[in-house]
Structure 1
Amino acid sequence: MSTPFERLKQSCAAEWRAYCEHEFVRQLGAGTLPMEAFQHYLKQDYLFLVHFGRAWGLAVYKSRDIGQLRQSLDSLKAIIDVELDLHVKYCGEWGISEAQLAQLEESRATLAYTRYVLETGNRGDILDLHVALAPCIVGYAEIGNWLVDQRFTVRLDNPYGAWIDMYTSKEFQQAAQAEVDWINAQMADISDKRFQELARIFSEATRLEADFWQMGLTLQN
């Protein structure tokens, strides 16, 4: 029997595949993605992480018990205290300074996805917010694993090898699995109507994630 999270993915199978197997991802795995496309993606991903932190701050507010509160706070601290610093350092390796990051304007794709997540969390509960964030957290873990299994993926001397390593790392995979487990537990006894509400959120967030890849591939602002 499928888990609730598997059912979410099955409810938008075409959208999920279009996101996880996007041309941006394929070129990244093959090492053929233009440097300018990856740099554009990295810049916008910095802005996304800032709003990702805001989303976990919202999750702190939306928490209903001490367990949820601690989990949300830990995620918020991980983004603000660890991941943002790591991202800034990684951007520096690609010739993007912290000063440049501070002056960036958000692309339409960044605006669309981040504001959708925040608006979903504001109008709904903490489960709505987690489901809106799941395509990012869980999707990147699945994309990393998918790339490792593809014959076209280049592991030796791939300029994007560190990116693949990041999302196939034990730490990230464990974090993604923990998110899946949490969502499965929260969705265990929901009604069909509630499932359809969450499936719509998941589908829309997945499409917006695919648009984020497209933004990077075509250098859209």
Structure 2
Amino acid sequence: MTQTLTEQLWAAVEPVYAEILDHPFLAGLTDGTLPRPAFRHFVVQDSHYLRDYARALAICAAKAPGEAEVRAFADDAIGALAAEQGMHAEFLTAFGESAEQAAAEPVLPTTRAYTSYLLATVYGGSFAEAVAAVLPCYWVYARVGEQLLARSSPDPLYARWIATYGDEAFQSVVRRVLALTDRLGEQLSEAERGRVFEHFTTTTRYEWMFWDAAWRGEQWPV
């Protein structure tokens, strides 16, 4: 039986996903031992990331061939900004800070690299390539949320983050994007399929790097 495109894509990143699940940042979320500065680093950089991710989703909407896909990606772009303004503001309040203070902090190396790659790909590539580049942020978070939801966290702040990505509303959005990806897979040339795999694999690696940067407290070295 022929595998779907999403089955093939996931098989390509299984080792990366295993490393993500084993990362001490996620282990610390679930057992409540993650240092608050690491979580704060993540929240601030994720706020920066989501603003550019929303732009990437808006470009996907502009490139989409059908009205349903235009609406879906436009809604997701709005949702990414809402998450940045709502959920992250709530987390920052827990640190006694405002969204304006976080926005004034620098975009750090991994965040800059990830968003630069993402925007270059969605601007310069085909619709299928654009979808492949934005897909890991949907899919990896859904899979991580699903895995962590059963364990949750003794820390209420961390439990709130886990619940956001493990709940059914988010999972249903991800299923919609996966179904679209499989439909696109039926029309790809071999050359375009290769680029789709390259972009998907690269941004999945950036997902690991993003958590790792927060764990390390990454700063600009000079």
1:22 aligns with 2:20: no
8 Å contact kept, 1:132–1:205: yes
Match of 1:144 in 2: 145
Residue aligning to 2:75: 74
Q: Is the 8 A contact 1:31 1:154 kept in 2?
A: no
Report what 2:13 is aligned to.
12
Deviation at 1:66, TM superposition (A): 2.2
Structure 2 spans left out of the alignment, 5+ residues:
none
Q: Mean Cα displacement is larger for which, 86-95 or 209-218?
A: 86-95
Distance 1:26 1:10 in 2: 23
Tell me whether 140-149 or 205-214 shows the greater mean CA deviation. Answer: 140-149
TM-score with structure 2 setting the length:
0.90
For residue 84 of structure 1, what is the aligned residue in structure 2?
A: 84
Once the two structures are superposed, the pairs formed by residues 43-192 of structure 1 within 5 Å of their partners are: 43-80=44-81, 82-86=82-86, 87-149=88-150, 153=151, 155-192=153-190
State the secondary structure of the residue aligned to 2:107.
coil
Question: Once the 2 structures are TM-superposed, how far is the Cα of residue 192 of structure 1 from its aligned partner?
Answer: 3.7
Task: Provide the secondary structure at the position in 1 that maps to 2:33.
Answer: coil
Q: Aligned pair count?
A: 217
What's the offset of the Cα at 1:97? 1.1
Partner of 2:191: 193
Give the conservation status (yes or no) of the 8 Å contact 2:56–2:118: yes
The alpha-carbon distance between structure 1 residues 119 and 32, as it changes in their structure 2 partners (threshold 3 A), is: same
- d(CA) in 1 for partners of 2:148, 2:173: 19
Work out the CA distance in 2 between the residues paired with 1:53 and 1:142.
21
Do 2:53 and 2:115's aligned partners in 1 also have CA atoms closer than 8 Å?
Answer: yes
Q: CA deviation at 1:154?
A: 5.2
Q: Provide the TM-score with structure 1 as the length reference.
A: 0.90
Moved over 3 A (4+): 153-159
Percentage identity across paired residues of the two chains: 26
CA shift for structure 1 position 116: 0.6
Q: Which moved more, 1:90-99 or 1:181-190?
A: 90-99
Q: 1:139 to 1:49 in 2, by over 3 A?
A: same
Cα drift, residue 157 of structure 1: 4.3
Q: Does 1:210 align with 2:208?
A: yes
Q: Deviations over 1:117-142 (max 9, x none)?
A: 10011110222111111111111010
Do the aligned residues in 1 keep the contact of 2:6 with 2:182 (CA within 8 Å)? Answer: yes
Indicate the larger mover: 169-178 or 13-22: 13-22
Contact kept? 2:165, 2:171, Cα under 8 Å:
yes
Q: Letter of the 1:53 partner, please give it.
A: A
Distance 2:162 2:109 in 1: 26
Quick check: 1:19–1:207 contact (8 Å CA) kept in 2? no
Q: For the aligned residues, what is the CA RMSD?
A: 1.8
CA contact (8 A) 2:152 2:163 kept: no
CA distance in 2, matches of 1:65, 1:174: 20
Following the alignment from structure 2 to structure 1, what is the Cα–Cα distance between the partners of residues 27 and 128? 31
DSSP-derived class of the 1:12 partner: helix
Instruction: Give the number of the structure with larger relative contact order, counting CA–CA contacts within 8 Å between residues 6 or more apart.
Output: 1
For structure 1, the residue ranges without an aligned partner over 5 or more in a row are: none
String of CA shifts for 1:67-111, please: whole Å, max 9, x gaps: 32222222222223x222212233222333122122011010000
